Structure 1
Amino acid sequence: MEPTIGILGGMGPEATVDFFAKIVALTPARRDQDHPRVVIDSNPKVPDRTAAILGHGDSPVPALIAGLEVLQRAGANFVAMPCVSAHVFLDELRQKSSLPILSMFEVLVEELTARHPGIRQVGVLATQGTIRAGGLVTRLQQAGIGCVLPSGSEQERVMACVYEIKGATGGRARSRSEVAIEVRELAGRLIGRGAQGVVLGCTEIPLVLKPGEVPVPVFDLTLLLARAAIRAAGRTPRD
């Protein structure tokens, strides 16, 4: 029996939809039955990951463990978690669950080293929690890839964009296209400081920034995780 993909989602809900859509689009299928079985636990009640990392919010780990248990009971053989900041807690989740959990950090390093060996420095657009925790940047640096990070004021703008994409506009009510313009401008600043590629290090960012919209390769962690999930399910994803 072929493996069943489990998706530990809801962080946020639209990012989970985007991830599942990418699995469907990248699976080589001629009919419904050619797709892998997928079970999804989309729980937007998981505490804010960045708030937890920064020390002023509840830990998301209990809710994430509960979600893993739901997926295991539903028949998942492994899990993909389309939330980059949740990967800060990945080691703890792996210790507390017997389900294999794919890593966005690992698939990014594999993509860069195997398919883009000429890229030695990338810009990183991620949440403050992901940046502060350091796991993503450390993995890249261990692979010999330098990181161009937003300045303090730029990082505040990144966070504002992420929460606006999620819907927490704080009364500003900017359109999605206006947020997209700002994200492209922030990516451009990193490119201007030497980034040879841009890592979309938060699963909300691919909702507004697409490949070809900036003059360097874009590394969409949602897309890379979808490809890894398809491979783990015994398929070869489309390019």
Structure 2
Amino acid sequence: MKIIGLIGGISWVSTADYYKLINEGINKKMGGLNFSECLIYSFNYAEIKKNNDANNWDSTFEMLLKACEFLKSGGAEAILLCANTMHFIADRLEEAIDLPIIHIATVTAVEIQKQEIKKIGLLGTKFTMELDFFKDKLAMKGVEVIIPKSQEERDFIHTTIFEDLGRGVVTSETKKRYLEIANQLIKEGAEGIILGCTEIPLVIKPEDLSVPVFDTALIHSNAAIDFQLS
């Protein structure tokens, strides 16, 4: 089994999900007492968010590069960044660390392609929705990405990810608003919805919507399992 390194704490809630999903997936495929051989480097989220709020991606890059080097020195053969937003610097990190980084948008694009979807809605942090690093990976596969048109809606999603979901807090009001935003994207032609933040599955479940839902944390975890067993 190949060893993987998980960079987590961004947030710890989704990191716990990754650890659970990957271990359960390995065991399902191998049985017995077989589980994932992995290393985890978990950040204090407050330090990452401070950099992001200041648009100081160079400092975030240096922090994540240190974590990658730590994991590589421990024997990791590939890295998972356990958050969509951090993939803004994934290609840069991969080049610097000289290890594969399993890119969450790339593996999500593959799953979308399997369902022959050409237009999809994306929900996530403002970085994920408004910057091009996620959308470009899908565009390479011929998939058009749409995001909420309203700045207020994007701000709402961004704020609740950090203030509520990142702490494991879910309210009925938050769920209702997320579903309203997702359904508006469906009205605008989205044939599926990407849960482009690893905390959003706390509020949106596949059965909540009339179109396919792509849980990026689950897709990413499955890609990690495939790598470990390849």
TM-score, structure 1 length as denominator? Answer: 0.86
Match of 2:87 in 1: 87
CA RMSD of aligned residues (A): 2.1
Asked if structure 1 preserves the Cα contact closer than 8 Å seen for 2:170 and 2:203, the reply is no
Match of 1:97 in 2: 97
Match of 2:121 in 1: 123
Match of 1:30 in 2: 31
**Deviations 1:174-201 (Å, cap 9, x if unpaired)?**
7434322222222111112111100011
**1:202 equivalent in alignment to 2:197:** yes
Match of 2:67 in 1: 67
Asked if structure 2 preserves the Cα contact closer than 8 Å seen for 1:49 and 1:85, the reply is no
Asked if structure 1 preserves the Cα contact closer than 8 Å seen for 2:51 and 2:59, the reply is no
Deviation of the 1:122 alpha carbon: 0.5
- Structure 2 residue ranges without an equivalent (≥5): none
The one-letter amino acid paired with 1:94 is E
The one-letter amino acid paired with 2:52 is A
TM-score, structure 2 length as denominator? Answer: 0.89
Deviation of the 1:205 alpha carbon: 0.8
Q: 1:25 to 1:76 in 2, by over 3 A?
A: same
**1:107 equivalent in alignment to 2:107:** yes
The one-letter amino acid paired with 1:76 is A
What are the within-5 Å matches in structure 2 for residues 147-158 of structure 1? 147-151=145-149, 152-158=151-157
Aligned residues: 225
Larger helix proportion of the pair: 2
Match of 2:139 in 1: 141
Find the aligned partners of 1:63 and 1:56 in 2 and give their Cα distance.
Answer: 11
Q: 1:57 to 1:226 in 2, by over 3 A?
A: closer
Asked if structure 1 preserves the Cα contact closer than 8 Å seen for 2:22 and 2:36, the reply is no
**1:214 equivalent in alignment to 2:213:** no
Match of 2:182 in 1: 187
Q: 1:111 to 1:50 in 2, by over 3 A?
A: farther
Of all paired residues, the percent bearing the same amino acid is 28
**1:223 equivalent in alignment to 2:222:** no
